[in-house]
């Protein structure tokens, strides 16, 4: 394979440009809050994850998967997807209602996790001032039928627009709840365990990120958790202010953070491949 292989998404995609934005971190936390509202999906996390002891390791692994599938070569992305499918194939969980054992790679659960992620990414980016038109936002959702394929879903059954995402959430809402497992995730996200040396940073930065991510959830999610959020206009203003502040940090500085997928991609493909929202076509 050519060293200049652009990968699954390529620099011409909305995904390539958007995933270089720092608000993706806030969106990722929103996705965790949302995912926890599916009782069987969150049970799979609680029973099979070491998130309590290795929270940052889990976040880094998730970021590494997203970075690899976005900016890596086709071979690297396919290899990352195969690794996720192999891991999921070995894991089981216990249904909190029936006590029955189930596979965590059931299509219903994979689809929930996928839709919660993609909805969070596009929602936070748009609401924080990232320049995505309606058409570009729909293109972004459609592009991620490819990431759904990587984790084992049939792309034909995955929402390909924001309207289809909204219809999916409307159909699944009756089965959602904030049970004991969701409460555990909620408590953890508000006060995650960290290395003692990182306690000052957690005290300074994390409360703002966690509160903002929670506030950016849809109102029905706030109702399920039973914790209010500021008025939507206030949340939007805070998302825009946070996005504006983070985007003042030079991209070359932000991209130095491990695992440096963007820097490796631009070294492979040339400087014209650097993510930049100004390259997005309307």
pLDDT digits (tens, 9 = 90+) for 9-29: 999 999 999 999 999 999 999
Please give the mean pLDDT across all residues of the chain.
92
| pLDDT score of 2 | 47
Say whether pLDDT at 239 is over 60: yes
H or E stretch at 101: strand 101-103
Say whether pLDDT at 143 is over 90: yes
Per-position b or e across 244-267, b if 16+ CB within 10 A of its CB: eeebeeeeeeebeeeeebbebbbe
Say whether pLDDT at 122 is over 90: yes
Determine the 3-state secondary structure of 131 from DSSP: coil
- Contact partners, residue 172, CB within 8 Å, separation at least 6: 38, 112
At 197, the pLDDT band (50, 70, 90 cuts) reads very low
The arithmetic mean of pLDDT across residues 136-155, rounded, is 98
Please state, in angstroms and rounded to a whole number, the distance separating the CA atoms of residues 186 and 214. 9
């Amino acid at each position: 394979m050519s060293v200049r292989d652009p990968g699954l998404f390529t620099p011409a995609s909305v995904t390539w440009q958007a995933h270089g934005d720092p608000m993706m971190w806030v969106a990722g936390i929103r996705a965790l809050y949302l995912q926890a509202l599916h009782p069987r999906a969150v049970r799979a996390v609680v029973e099979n994850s070491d998130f309590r002891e290795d929270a940052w390791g889990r976040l880094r692994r998730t970021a590494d998967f997203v970075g690899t599938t976005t900016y890596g070569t086709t071979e690297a992305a396919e290899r990352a997807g195969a690794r996720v499918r192999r891991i999921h194939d070995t894991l089981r969980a216990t249904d909190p209602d029936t006590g029955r054992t189930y596979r965590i790679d059931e299509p219903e659960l994979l689809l929930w996790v996928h839709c919660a992620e993609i909805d969070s990414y596009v929602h936070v980016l748009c609401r924080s001032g990232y320049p995505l038109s309606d058409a570009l936002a729909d293109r972004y959702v459609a592009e991620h039928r490819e990431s759904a394929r990587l984790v084992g879903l049939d792309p034909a059954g995955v929402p390909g627009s924001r309207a289809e995402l909204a219809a999916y959430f409307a159909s699944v809402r009756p089965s959602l709840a904030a049970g004991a497992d969701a409460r555990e995730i909620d408590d953890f996200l508000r006060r995650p365990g960290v290395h003692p040396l990182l306690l000052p940073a957690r005290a300074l930065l994390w409360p703002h990120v966690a509160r903002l991510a929670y506030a950016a959830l849809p109102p029905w999610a706030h109702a399920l958790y039973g914790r209010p959020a500021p008025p939507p206009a206030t949340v939007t203003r805070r998302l825009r202010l946070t996005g504006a502040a983070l985007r003042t940090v030079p991209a070359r500085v932000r991209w130095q953070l491990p695992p440096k997928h963007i820097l490796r991609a631009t070294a492979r493909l040339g400087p014209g491949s650097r993510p930049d929202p100004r390259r997005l076509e309307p």
